[in-house]
Amino acid sequence: MNKYILSVFFFLIMTAFANAQNAQYKAVDEVVGKLGALPDLNVATITDTITRNLANRELKARAIFYWVSNNIAIDAKATKLNDQKNKDPENVIKLRRATAQGFSLLIQEMCSLVKIRCLSIDGYLKSFPEEINEKVDETNHSWNVIQLGESPELWFYIDASRASGFLDKKMTVFTREYTPQYFFADKLLFNLDHYADNSAWQLGPGPKSRKDFYALPVISSAAYQYGLKKPVPISGSIKTKTNVPVIFSFPYNGAKLVSVDLLIGDNRKLKKPEHMNFSTSDNTLSFSYAFKEEDEFPIRIIVDGKEFMAYQVVVKEK
């Protein structure tokens, strides 16, 4: 009983701390949002304007993240061509668009101006299920690691590029969709979704190699919003037989869910969404599905209208 009371007390303390932290973030976001785009100002002036009245480095970092994520767009053409000629922070501020590396270098520069240790990290990211098991040699994404103390627990991930929105599959159209959970992102989830070119900048457990990383499923922004933990299946490539149920299980933050749909196929072969009969017991989203036809295709799991996860499925005759 004493252990139970202690664990409940600890849970209540952590919940209260998280709520207070979220309230602080919300207040910072509202203030920075009201300041707007701050046109015709340089990096140093923007940084000072959005951080000068904030009490600590964490809130200053949040202000920088919020402003960059909401005022810089992903440069579709430069990203597609891996053109980094305008990655310098002042160019990014002038153009108001950037590659992921441009985002991360801007975050690094702004943090440096307010004496926050921040590094730009290059690495790998999967955005579409067709990339599963398709290991590439050239880095295709960048993000930041921020240090607020000596302990490893006080190093944090920031991905302002992903927080700003996303590109379509052809990498021609940017859609703005702010996702605040990429600030001080959950490390276990982030490590399933990002792989650093230098393993020294992997904070906590994650895939051991680039091959292992590319074998994982695709993690979408909604997974961060719902606090996804380790998914099942953990392999991005699902091999099964016709009419044999595949079990899907996703520990998450316990938020109330209205709908879960399965999108099967892609492009011309895309089928109508299939509604799943799901459960959410013990803060775990669960459902099963038996694929009916022999084929190979991508699937996307849609939670309350938002893309959550994606896999490649290979179905053979039973």
Q: Mean pLDDT across the stretch 155-169?
A: 97
Q: Binning pLDDT at 50, 70 and 90, where does residue 150 land?
A: confident
For 20-55, letters b (16+ CB in 10 Å) and e give: eeeebbeebbeebeeeeeeeeeebeebbeebbeebe
Rounded CA separation 23/19 (Å): 6
The rounded distance, in Å, linking the Cα atoms of 57 and 63 is: 10
Question: What does the pLDDT look like over 44-92, one tens digit per residue?
Answer: 999 999 999 998 999 999 999 999 999 999 999 999 999 999 999 999 9
Confidence of residue 22 (pLDDT cuts 50, 70, 90): confident
Which option is the CATH number for 237-316: 3.60.60.10, 2.60.40.10, 1.20.810.10, 3.30.1490.150? Answer: 2.60.40.10
pLDDT at res. 1: 46
Average pLDDT over the chain, rounded to an integer:
92
Are 161 and 74 a contacting pair, CB within 8 Å?
Answer: yes
* Overall size of the chain counted in residues: 318
CATH of domain 2-214: 3.10.620
User: What's phi and psi for 141, nearest 5 deg?
Assistant: -160, 160
Q: What is the pLDDT of residue 2?
A: 53
pLDDT reading at 191 higher than 50? yes
Count of C-beta atoms within a 10 Å radius of residue 76: 17
Give me the mean pLDDT over the 210-239 stretch: 96
Cα gap 124→131, rounded to integer Å: 11
Average pLDDT over residues 101-113: 98
> Structural domain boundaries of the chain?
2-214, 237-316
- Check residue 43 and give its pLDDT: 98
Query: Quick one: tokens of 301?
Result: 């799991």
**What does the pLDDT average to over 186-194?**
96
Work out the pLDDT band at 9, boundaries 50, 70, 90: very low
pTM, to two decimals:
0.90
Task: Give the Cβ contact number of residue 85 at 10 Å.
Answer: 9
Q: What is the SS3 assignment for 175?
A: strand
Judged against a pLDDT cut of 80, whether residue 196 lies above it is answered with: yes
Q: Please give the pLDDT value at position 13.
A: 41
The token pair that represents 26 in the structure block: 């919300």
pLDDT score recorded for residue 14: 37
Name the amino acid, one letter, at 152: P
Q: Same topology for domains 2-214 and 237-316, yes or no? A: no
Q: At 21, is the pLDDT very low, low, confident or very high (cuts 50, 70, 90)? A: low
pLDDT in tens, 257-295: 999 999 999 877 788 999 999 999 999 999 999 999 899
